[in-house]
Structure 1
Amino acid sequence: MTRLRVAYAGHDFFSSCLEMLAQRADVDLVLVLTDEPGGQPTDNVRAIAAARQTPVWTGRWSAARIDELNGINVDLLVCAAYMYRIPIEELNVRYAVNVHPTMLPEGRGPNPLAYLTFDYPQLNGVSIHEMTPELDQGPVLLQEPFDRDPDDGFDEIFLKLWAHAPRTLQRLLDDVDHYFLHKQDQVGGSYWPEPPEEERTLDAATATVADALHLHARFGQLGFVLHTDDEHPMQVRAAAASRCRHQYPPGRVAARLNRGWIVALTDGLLQTQPALHHKPV
């Protein structure tokens, strides 16, 4: 059995891939790179690393960090939902791959799930490509589509990716040399930018229940911005809404409960899970 010395870069979004790597008998997990406390969610990544007593690096890259990684003889660098640019052109690693949640070359970009929900459902899938200095443009090594239900929103697609991505990565690790030998350059394709805030904003004073449910389905745990008659907009990552008659003017925060806020819409009520004041992304 040929053992691989593997470094992993990512936060919790694709951490099912890290879990798979940690369980393989032919992988030595030598390093985990992730975000600093207060940034992207990293609890699961840190727990997996701690269980394996794997060192964890946080924050941005530096010349010293590049030298240190080049000194630990990494065979394979796996990037999956990592928040910093990796200076791949300066790293001495045998292989470097990125796990991407669309069928490349379509859907390059930092957060394509919001587009997959309603705009491009035919592009649901996992692509693993060779890392190059250009974002998401390296040759494709392996990709697999997955089926989705017609009413799947952002969070449901995330769960399918959570299950599907490590299986695709597992196939790659079973014969890394083969997939690199048969890699395919990307031709054409598209780039999907981060959705602008105006597309992720709901004004409770004019919104309907259907508007709220559509926005929540599209953005899910990524969150949308809710404006109420309170002075602060809220970042909403979990919500429920129902059409009903009520006595509140639209836009009013009807109650602040320990399970979240209840907000009046034009034709019903919206409940947010514990609401945070919105911070620009």
Structure 2
Amino acid sequence: MPETTQQPWRVRSMPDLIALARAMEQDAVAGYRALASRMRDENRADLAAVFDRLVAEEQGHLEMVDRWSADTGGEIAAMPVLMPEASFDDEGAGVVAPELLSSYRAFSMAVRNEERAFVFWSYVAAHAPSHDMQIAAERMAKEELGHVATLRRERRLAFHAGRKAAPKAANVDLPMLEMQLNDHLERIAAMPMAGEKFRALAAAARHRAAAMKAIPFVGTPLLDNLPEPVSGQAVSLSEFLLDCYLDLAEREKKEQPRLQAQAFAGQLIDSLQQLRALPVP
């Protein structure tokens, strides 16, 4: 996925933006198709089927971009202006031994690709040179957030299909979990390699906890299935909270809490990007 450090504001026109969106989706289709072919060659029909599903998902995204292009006049730049790196990252799945792969790992890789795409398009929107391009980039970010939700559901199913029963945490709610995340982030912020950005993420967690008192959510059944170990680490807790907000964004009927859940999900994706970038001690 293109890095936000590559100055996405160089995308200066709608044809360029659509060309970039199309190229990113085509890259993902080609990546998953190559992985499906490799799994068939390695007699892993189960994983070939997973990657085939991901190919179909990305082809659906590509068709959406093509419909969008037609709706805006059909003009597409000949080449995307910002593809300095491969937009699709198979995270080593193309070379790792097949026996080390699983459906859960495949969906995890797909989730991270979609999360990076969401962050990228959010950044494009923030630096768009025109209102029309800002709206277009925000639309792409919203689409990617939907893809994240779909793939994270698939990943949960794969996880539960392959796991043994684990003790569940009891009597938890989202504000409580956000304050636990705040504590984790504050501890990370005190480390020499972390600093102010993690204090800002901790403050965002506190803000989300307070905001839910003013605009409560309808509730998510995911809170009934919180594995005890999840709350002990910042990354796993952020992952769980993100799943909750994506679930709430689909369940909420009222616009304000639905938009709040989507905004919270976006913040958690950003938090996860920062946490994953931390150097391993």
Q: TM-score, normalised by structure 1?
A: 0.25
Q: Which protein has the bigger helix share?
A: 2
Higher strand share: 1
Does 1 or 2 have the higher relative contact order (CA < 8 Å, sep 6+)?
2
